[in-house]
Structure 1
């Protein structure tokens, strides 16, 4: 029994060592990048193709390939595998390539463990779709260790569509490279600003009408509206059971959401002003934010259970006619709730409000605005046998035909060209099987989540089919967002130190923020809170972000 225990411990230690070495070996500076290998294969017509040394026309699509990717939740609701998606069935017809999709667990923690184990084992598929900027050591380290390939030369030779796109969009070309110039994946790109704004404050419009108030624009106006929701029985049941506002504190701290915090002119975490990086939770404005939230919580304007309310509980509070104000998504919340309540409560209505400010008439400093590129892409592993052919296959998504396939599905089935505009058919917009539009789309295309392609704004113009959603896009877009950080790349050494610092910072700051708001920690201890963050190394983390920002600007 002791020998078995020792073996298990030794196996666990070896696995951990493999994970670290796989992701961090680049620290030595040795360049172990895997080079394309000589090989041959058949194209979609069964003709032999040379994989190296030839022109673009000499390389065919791969006969088969393995592809690791997380399974989107809307796909998983009705399908088991990306092979079942209509566009991938069509893509196999067009290219002759049989793809073996491999999906990790839906649980994010387990998926990360599976990803790390896969890299540590060196048993890699041909293509790995992941957010590479979040990988330990960063994407350049993954290239240097041979985990994935540097794609610059391969793209230049075998990806004419993607190459052309980068030439026409130098701002995107800058984003998708490491600081040393390596292109490491075929990226997911949001192709228009309309696709980058999809989250913000939402109010019950019918409740506003009942209390004779407009959607607020300032924090003072917010407070007056929330007090009216609390006191004037807008749900009309004769009980004082309304929840004026659901604060999602994790989304205050989320740099992709920035809910409410922008009213004070800062982000909760890293932001930059004129090229100088700052950290929000050590700024005096953050104490002002906490002070206001503490007051609202004490006065019953914030859901008393806000810290424990998950998505399902939020749904129940909205559809149960209890919640008046929340931050949400234009599709998954605003559109979804309006659809769910259409028959249940015909008077139910929602309206998007502007991101709040402190001064009347001011433009919001910060709201939600996604980046065109956030690090997600399909990389080719160092174990791939036919990288040239795989590059050609991935490049198809950036062609005109591939762009339509990924965004709109199969012509004549899920969309028709109407005066040059790819228009979704009733199979998508009015699914006879009772599927919501988002679930119906997920069966046929990747437009409504992500993938290695350029997302088309014409998808969202049809997805946001309600006036409330269209108005939300216009309303939430009215924010400066100049203080948002661009997508940065850390070195392996920086990444290791930064992760160590931020693990402590995020755990402590998340807990203390809740304690301050709920009154379990006096706001007089805010300076001690800041001192503790500095002991954890937050100033060093700011310097790391500053160095990465400087390198990004110099690309």
Structure 2
């Protein structure tokens, strides 16, 4: 009798417990339904989904492997789930993600290049306008911007919106890192001077092709590798005072590829291609194939970086070829003594930053988490890594250890540093002057920076954006123009299309609406100058 009663009591208690749990679950579900996007949870932020390109897939499968982010998780308790798009499809994946509206908590992206600019996504309620949040919850970034008003102007839209936690470069030494790279040892072996003019370059490239500078008795040297999408960037076309895109002359915006001078530039590229001075495989050459051509002692010149090219290749080749040496050349001109119209000196802000999306349910906490990187501790962590491992303080100067600069496993400084910090590329932090000083400490790097800085750069455009009203039209025009331009320029260079069709090419771009795009860019430049 007692056992039967006990059994009934147990059943009743079980039913009561189930009812209580159901009520609690129902209340929780109701709270979650009622809570609007952007409101903070009662609990502190514990996890974030974060969309960003993996800039060093050769060193990191995922940014969760990076020492700085591991340490940041220890400090803050915030776990980050990094979502890395496939590099070849990153723009497409970004556009699809933004169109669908299924957004992660944070998106780190080159926002200056998005169709319509970041203000478009603010008005569409996809990313958050951060001005008030920064004023109230980001004292570190606020201090940085208050002390550098020109930086604040750069990171705002024309409407005054701050849309991301920006990547900023602390000093001039951080802003020059890219340009024409040459085999310095080949120049010395062949008794050649550093090229300054277009004619000098022709002399050097011809010698690289014909005089066996790698000394293997084979005609396997590749004089110059160009890029299939950005071609020579502004390094060679700049000799004509124009660029591969938009530039300005005395405040008036122009578009390089439709100018008569662009035909002269393409004629040069086609001549060099026909002479075998430009790599005939350049369209199919990715970063891994370029690495192979450099380390196989074949490539004489290319467009590269101080760190991931000059330093990295010299470290990789140190044991293989002790004579191997690279250096950077000035942007070419037509006549000796001329000042190059362009150089490679970027602005403190390049448009990359971490935006918080409206899907984020813990905006204030995310702002505080991102702001940590702009404070003293975060600045040290994301530029130098872990004290005692990747750096030591030597008379208050953060000095990279031998694990970074002379890795015992033979890893280049670029690769070793990537395992600790993102300072070698970008992210939501201020890139330190001390990082750049050490990352470019080799004499060859110093010479390169000095050469790449030569030039006025007065015609370079600042980062501007169209209005929301103009954005769709502008994006449509430039998507069509960009695809057509790249396709045709490669055909002109390789000779698949004769240069007699250049005028037709320019007229086609005009028919696609480039004049309207120029109007939009002109208005955007004028708005920027009034910020």
Scaled by the length of structure 2, the TM-score of the pair is 0.87
2:270 corresponds to 1:294: yes
Change (3 A) 1:128 1:504: closer
Partner of 2:340, secondary structure, is: coil
Residue equivalent to 1:13: none
- Equivalences for residues 489-508 of structure 1 within 5 A: 489-508=465-484
Change (3 A) 1:212 1:409: same
Residue equivalent to 1:46: none
Residue equivalent to 1:68: 50
Change (3 A) 1:278 1:78: closer
Residue equivalent to 2:103: 124
- Equivalences for residues 269-348 of structure 1 within 5 A: 269-348=245-324
- Equivalences for residues 177-216 of structure 1 within 5 A: 177-216=156-195
2:78 corresponds to 1:98: yes
Deviation at 1:412, TM superposition (A): 2.6
Residue equivalent to 2:69: 88
Distance 2:228 2:62 in 1: 34
Tell me if structure 1 keeps the 8 A contact 2:54–2:63: no
Partner of 2:299, secondary structure, is: coil
Q: Deviations over 1:450-486 (max 9, x none)?
A: 1111111211221224221121111111121111111
Change (3 A) 1:129 1:312: closer
Q: Deviations over 1:130-158 (max 9, x none)?
A: 22233343211211222121111111111
Residue equivalent to 1:517: 493
Tell me if structure 1 keeps the 8 A contact 2:133–2:364: yes
Distance 1:81 1:238 in 2: 43
Tell me if structure 2 keeps the 8 A contact 1:179–1:552: yes
Match of 1:172 among 129, 148, 151: 151
Distance 1:156 1:496 in 2: 32
Distance 1:525 1:38 in 2: 58
Partner of 1:188, secondary structure, is: strand
Distance 1:190 1:444 in 2: 19
Deviation at 1:186, TM superposition (A): 0.8
Deviation at 1:235, TM superposition (A): 2.5
Larger Rg: 2
Partner of 2:74, secondary structure, is: helix
Match of 1:397 among 358, 373, 382: 373
More displaced 10-residue stretch of structure 1: 234-243 or 499-508: 234-243
Structure 2: gaps (5+ residues)? 1-34
Match of 2:401 among 419, 425, 428: 425
Change (3 A) 1:206 1:439: closer
Q: CA RMSD in A?
A: 2.3
Distance 1:223 1:434 in 2: 36
Distance 1:301 1:39 in 2: 60
Match of 1:220 among 199, 205, 230: 199
Distance 1:301 1:115 in 2: 37
More displaced 10-residue stretch of structure 1: 514-523 or 395-404: 514-523
Partner of 1:301, secondary structure, is: coil
Distance 2:64 2:218 in 1: 52
Change (3 A) 1:505 1:113: closer
Partner of 2:349, secondary structure, is: coil
Aligned length: 497
Distance 1:452 1:380 in 2: 12
